[in-house]
Amino acid sequence: MLTLITRRRIRRTGWATVVLGAVGLALAAAPTASAQDIQNPLDGVSPDFGLFSGSLDATWKRIVAFIWALIIIGSAVRVIVGAFKVKRAKSRGYANDLSEGSEELQDALISVALVAAASPLVATILFVVGG
């Protein structure tokens, strides 16, 4: 017997598969364009952030660091809440709550792992692009 959470996951996975399939089909069916055929309307125009004298550079880095910190804190809070749910369900002997808490804890741990893996991936991409 499927639980409500399992049905939702199956439905969500089904929709994700349909959307990814549609996007893949649209990309495969799209005609390829040659860069030589396209005229550049901004030929010779390049952005110059010298007007802001470096303050813009520091500001966006602070904003990205703040967002990154919020993501890390949110992931850690999810792990702590999931662990407490599992502990509470074990102490009270509720099997259904234990399975739901375990699933939430697993999802939270996966999110922490993805957040931890994203940092070296972004650093690698920036290193390769930066030369």
pTM: 0.52
Beta carbons within 10 angstroms of residue 51's beta carbon = 7
HEC string of 102-131?
HHHHHHHHHHHHHHHHHHHHHHHHHHHHHC
Q: What is the tens place of the pLDDT at every residue in 2-39? A: 677 777 777 777 778 888 888 887 777 777 666 666 77
Q: Where are the domains of the chain?
A: 57-131
